[in-house]
Amino acid sequence: MADRKKRLESNAAGNFFVDATCINCDTCRQLAPKSFAEIGEYSAVARQPIDDEQSFQAYQALIACPVGSIGTEHADNARLQQAKNSFPLQLEEDVFYCGFNSEKSFGANSFFVRHPDGNWLVDSPRYLKQLVAAFERMGGIRFIFLTHEDDVADADRYADHFGAKRLIHREDAAAVPGAEWVVEGTEPQQLASQFQVIPVPGHTPGSQALLFKERFLFTGDHLWWDPRTQRLGSPNALVWNREELERSIEKLLHHRFEWVLAGHGDRVHLSREALRAKLLELVETRKVVTGV
């Protein structure tokens, strides 16, 4: 729980606040962008919610925060419970954002895909009874796709509970020694009906993206949307191999998708043509920066 005594001075005066335990993971800014912003080295309440929608989003951010750094001076318990019950949060069709981001993965996003041949979990949220019950109501979990070694979090616990198969690339497999399905090589592969893995080494040796229905691209830490610049972004720090990363970004030009669903960084939904243009822009920008 957030501590009023540690309330950051950068918070706007009012009910919601962020305390000094914040790890600046971006979760709150994604869920409630009209209320939270990056101020200095932390996220903080830049503007207090001004209506019911913004208040609800702020409570969603409070719930999803991986380290419990968001608090209120006076809690609306009914609205808090409503926000808690909103997760997993449906994005479109059978794709959901799990919420309840895990500190073990530095607050990375995770996603749930409902499918008639078995449901998929993409990276792992915190292991909580509420999410377990929600996943059970939605038909359980058959596969757990892990984009890379950093965002494993509680995948083992979910796999044990649901009898799910964990998928990870060979180059990052040390993070999940008991993985039931290890992806090999650097070429795209069909995993199951409507699911394709695209190895994208760079951030880590075994980074991989998951493409669903040629519409939804789950990217881990390889690619994300920056709402401030209205551009796609990719790592400049914590990069295992920069040349491999550049090749991996260009590789995505050969695929069609409408959503970028990132582990870290924001998500975005655009037309396939618009996203391809944004990806080309990123490729060209990185060539200029890196001199490739």
Q: Are residues 80 and 91 in the same domain?
A: no
Mean pLDDT computed over every residue of the chain = 96
Q: Are residues 125 and 142 in the same domain?
A: yes
| 291: confidence class by pLDDT, cuts 50, 70, 90 | low
Per-residue pLDDT at 290 exceeds 70:
no
| 224: confidence class by pLDDT, cuts 50, 70, 90 | very high
Mean pLDDT of 1-22: 96
Q: Are residues 75 and 110 in the same domain?
A: no
Digit-coded pLDDT (tens) for 68-114: 999 999 999 999 999 999 999 999 999 999 999 999 999 999 999 99
Range of the domain at 55: 4-84
Indicate which CATH number applies to the domain containing 106. Answer: 3.60.15.10
Q: Are residues 222 and 149 in the same domain?
A: yes
Tell me, what's the pLDDT at 1?
Answer: 80
Q: Are residues 33 and 106 in the same domain?
A: no
The structural domain count of the chain equals 2
Digit-coded pLDDT (tens) for 145-155: 999 999 999 99
Q: Are residues 100 and 111 in the same domain?
A: yes
Tell me, what's the pLDDT at 99?
Answer: 97
| 288: confidence class by pLDDT, cuts 50, 70, 90 | confident
Per-residue pLDDT at 37 exceeds 80:
yes
Q: Are residues 17 and 114 in the same domain?
A: no
Q: Are residues 164 and 269 in the same domain?
A: yes
Q: What is the 3-state secondary structure (H, E, C) of the chain?
A: CCCHHHECCCCCCCCEEEECCCCCCCHHHHHCCCCEEEECCEEEECCCCCCHHHHHHHHHHHHHCCCCCEEECCCCHHHHHHHHHCCCEEEECCEEECCCCEHHHCCECCEEECCCCCCEEECCCCCCHHHHHHHHHCCCCCEEECCCHHHCCCHHHHHHHHCCEEEEEHHHHHHCCCCCEEECCCCCEEEECCEEEEECCCCCCCCEEEEECCCEEEEECCCEEECCCCEEECCCCCCCCHHHHHHHHHHHHHCCCCEEEECCCECEECCHHHHHHHHHHHHHHHHHHHCC
Indicate which CATH number applies to the domain containing 25. Answer: 3.30.70.20
Among 41, 66, 84, which residue terminates a domain?
84
Q: Are residues 76 and 93 in the same domain?
A: no
The percentage of residues in the chain with a pLDDT greater than 70, rounded to a whole number, is 99
Per-residue pLDDT at 49 exceeds 80:
yes
Q: Are residues 63 and 91 in the same domain?
A: no
Mean pLDDT of 140-146: 98
Distances, alpha carbon 54 to alpha carbons 16, 58, 243, in Å: 11, 6, 42
Among 62, 84, 106, which residue terminates a domain?
84
Q: Are residues 200 and 145 in the same domain?
A: yes
Among 69, 84, 99, which residue terminates a domain?
84
**In this structure, what token pair is assigned to residue 171?**
């180059």
Q: Are residues 32 and 163 in the same domain?
A: no
Q: Which pTM was predicted?
A: 0.96
Residue keyed to tokens 């501590």: 3
